[in-house]
Amino acid sequence: MNKIDRLMRTINNALENYAHLIVVNNQKTLELYNYKIILNADYINEFLVNEHYANLITDEIERFEIIQYFVHQIDKFRKDLYSRQIVYQPKYQDNENLAACLSCVQCIVRHNRIDIHVFIRSQNFDNNFLYDCQTFSILMEQMSKLLSRKIGFIYINIISLHKIL
The domain of 116 spans: 34-157
Number of domains in the chain: 1
**Residue 59 domain flag:** yes
Residue 122 within a domain? yes
Yes or no: say if 128 and 89 are a contact pair by the CB < 8 Å rule: no
| Model pLDDT for residues 120-144, shown as the tens digit of each residue | 999 999 989 998 999 999 999 999 9
Residue 75 is which amino acid? D
Output the 3-class SS for the chain. CCHHHHHHHHHHHHHHHHCEEEEECCEEEEEEEEEEEEECHHHHHHHHHCHHHHCCCCCHHHHHHHHHHHHCCHHHHHHCCCCCCCEECCCECCECCCCCCEEEEEEEEECCEEEEEEEEEEEEHHHHHHHHHHHHHHHHHHHHHHHCCEEEEEEEEEEEEEEEC
Residue 18 in any domain: the answer is no
Asked whether the whole model's pTM tops 0.75, one would answer yes
C-alpha to C-alpha distance for 13 and 32, rounded to whole angstroms:
11
In-domain check, residue 56: yes
Please report, for the domain that includes residue 136, its CATH number: 3.30.572.10
Q: Is 15 within the bounds of a domain?
A: no
| 125 domain-assigned | yes
105 belongs to a structural domain? yes
Give the pLDDT score at 62.
86
pLDDT digits (tens, 9 = 90+) for 39-77: 999 999 998 887 666 566 667 888 899 999 999 999 998
Is 164 domain-assigned?
Answer: no
- For residue 32, how many other CB atoms are within 10 A of its CB? 20
Taking each helix axis from N to C terminus, what angle separates 125-147 and 41-49, rounded to the nearest 10 degrees?
100
pLDDT of residue 56: 65
